[in-house]
Amino acid sequence: MSTEWLDVFQNGGLLKKTVVFAAKADSEPERLDMGHRVHVRYRAKVLPNGNVQGPPPASFEATEGAGVSLLPNKDNGNNPDEVKGMILGHNDVLPGLDMGVALMVVGETALFKIAPKYAYGEQGW
């Protein structure tokens, strides 16, 4: 079960879809905010050019693309699971992830499709 894709900025630049919901808690899960410190486990792939304007992919596995590290100077295309601590709103990670993670709740797993302008832009690295 998963949700529909959410077009965060209504411009196709940052899409979010929940793939695993957080376990039901007794109380409403605390919302994240700027300045919160979070830990995430993530894996990433570069979408082939043809996919950029195409429909959002169904799942991470079912999507064609090369595994890539989001941490510069670290080639871990073959070891894609990374855990990273970051402070929201601090520019610790690419903008799409900084803003996207702020929309999550603890325990949730989400897919993000991030356009270059919310990722590494024209430059790459």
Chain residues binding other proteins by CB under 8 A are: 19-20, 30, 32-33, 35-47, 51-52, 57, 60, 63, 65, 68, 70, 72, 83, 87-88, 90-92, 94, 96-97, 100-101, 104-116, 119-125
Neighbours of 104 (CB within 10 A): 19
Query: Residue 61 CB, nearest distance to other proteins (Å)?
Result: 9
Nearest to 41 by CA among 110, 102, 96, 94: 110
Query: Residue 2 CB, nearest distance to other proteins (Å)?
Result: 12
Q: Which helix (H) or strand (E) holds 6?
A: strand 6-7
Query: Residue 26 CB, nearest distance to other proteins (Å)?
Result: 18
Helix, strand or coil, per DSSP, at residue 28: coil
